[in-house]
Amino acid sequence: MARIAVVAGDGIGPEVVGQARKVIDAVLPGVEATEYDLGAARYHRTGEVLPDSVLTELAGHDAILLGAVGDPTVPPGVLERGLLLKLRFAFDQYVNLRPSRLWPGVAGPLANVKPGEVDLVVVREGTEGLYAGAGGSLHRDTPAEVATEESLNTRHGVERVIRDAFARARRRERRKVTLVHKTNVLTHAGSLWARAFEAVAAEHPDVTTEYQHVDAAAMFLVTQPQRYDVVVTDNLFGDILTDIAAAVTGGIGLAASGCINPEGRYPSMFEPVHGSAPDIAGKGVADPVAAVLSAALLIDQLGHADAAARVTAAVATELASRTPGVPLRTEEVGDRLAGYAVA
Ligand code: NAD
Ligand code: IPM
Ligand code: MN
């Protein structure tokens, strides 16, 4: 049976991961789950964020389930970079997979979009771009302070994520890939992305392609999300666009993701798109659906497609039976989902 590592993390992380665990236990009873205490509490207690020994242990698992990372009492970046990005980079999770669909019964904010009409997936590059950490600052805390933050793009890194996007598109009905970048301004990185995209597209004549600048894509995601099938884009654009995609498909509480190492050399990690939500942490009102759908991606990746489908069906049942405006309780949603999934 599979061995998974669980990093519940900060804020609402433990609340939503608790529900995802219930659902995993319901559909895969024998799974071995080990909890790792990482995040703000450990940092305050020990000063450590992600010790090498823990990283090595995590590497020995089949997959990682993560809740959320980040806390207002910890300086920005310490946990986000030191824990979350360190994991994505160390495990070469270069495909950051972020599906969005408008579920039946979910009232999206758009009058012109009906449930079932949006079914897109953003393939966000996960290890490069502006996230790489290239940059620095000079003359800190003086009037002459300078800061740079450079976007790192390698042909290898760009081409492999584009290949993954095309491979995914070929397994989908519409077989369409949209490249999103800003080639009209970011001419160095943009040109590399566009040329890599053209080269991979030439090998896939059965896949329809299009290109959009990121500003237009942000607009079209809000006005016509139905037009997208697979979207491939860089790390920061993908971060922003997937919060938009979440907002137009019922909210961030429903948005799942997978940080995938497609070759399987390292464990992939599954986590909601949302963060630790300090504004609602501890209140028991966070929507666990994003974490549960992330668990479905994890279960599928472990090779249990039937069990994953049962989790997805449980979410469909839950969402179809919600009454708009009625507040939810995290634990109750988790109990219902586990019940639907096992039935
Ligand atoms: P956030 O996603 O935590 O919260 C944004 C808004 O969405 C808040 O109003 C929050 O209450 C709401 N929200 C989020 N998840 C919800 C859920 N499941 N149910 C209902 N409402 C939900 O983003 P933020 O406030 O910008 O960031 C808070 C912290 O989380 C920061 O430290 C940030 O760096 C971190 N963060 C971590 C991750 C991650 O671990 N993958 C992702 C995003 C942000
Ligand atoms: C996300 C988050 C992270 C990101 C942060 C917390 C590092 O916003 O998973 O979307 O930017 O990738
Ligand atoms: Mn984000």
Taking CA atoms only, the protein residue closest to ligand 1 atom 32 is: 70
Ligand 2 mutation target, pool 74, 80, 125, 269, most atoms within 8 A of CB: 80
Task: Tell me the C-alpha distance between 53 and 124, whole Å.
Answer: 29
Which pLDDT score, from 0 to 100, does residue 292 have?
Answer: 98
pLDDT per position as a tens digit, 118-144: 999 999 999 999 999 999 999 999 999
pLDDT per position as a tens digit, 33-79: 999 999 999 999 999 999 999 999 999 999 999 999 999 999 999 99
Identify the CA nearest to 270 among candidates 19, 7, 48, 66: 66
pLDDT per position as a tens digit, 200-215: 999 999 999 999 999 9
In this structure, are residues 246 and 254 in contact, taking their beta carbons and an 8 Å threshold? yes
Q: From the CA of 278, give the closest atom in ligand 1.
A: 28
In this structure, are residues 297 and 121 in contact, taking their beta carbons and an 8 Å threshold? no
> 97 CB less than 6 Å from ligand 2?
no
Here the ipTM equals 0.99
DSSP-derived secondary structure for 113-176: --TTS-EEEEEEE-SSEEEEEEEEEESTTSTT-EEEEEEE--HHHHHHHHHHHHHHHHTSSS-E
Which pLDDT score, from 0 to 100, does residue 116 have?
Answer: 85
Task: Tell me the C-alpha distance between 310 and 115, whole Å.
Answer: 20
Taking CA atoms only, the protein residue closest to ligand 1 atom 37 is: 275
Which pLDDT score, from 0 to 100, does residue 343 have?
Answer: 76
C-alpha 278 – ligand 1 centre gap (Å): 7
Strand extents, DSSP E, the chain: 3-9, 32-35, 63-68, 95-101, 119-125, 129-138, 146-152, 176-181, 208-213, 230-233, 256-260, 268-272
The whole-number average pLDDT for the span 187-197 is 98
Q: Can you list the domains of the chain with their CATH numbers?
A: 1-94+261-343 (3.40.718.10), 98-258 (3.40.718.10)
Q: Is 215 a catalytic residue?
A: yes
For 225, how many CA atoms within 13 A lie in the half-sphere containing its CB? 31
* Residue of 94, 131, 211, 340 with catalytic role: 131
In this structure, are residues 222 and 210 in contact, taking their beta carbons and an 8 Å threshold? no
* Residue of 10, 94, 164, 182 with catalytic role: 182
Question: 0.90 cut: is pTM over it?
Answer: yes
Task: Tell me the C-alpha distance between 199 and 193, whole Å.
Answer: 10
Quick one: what percent of the chain has pLDDT higher than 90? Answer: 95
pLDDT per position as a tens digit, 241-279: 999 999 999 999 999 999 999 999 999 999 999 999 999
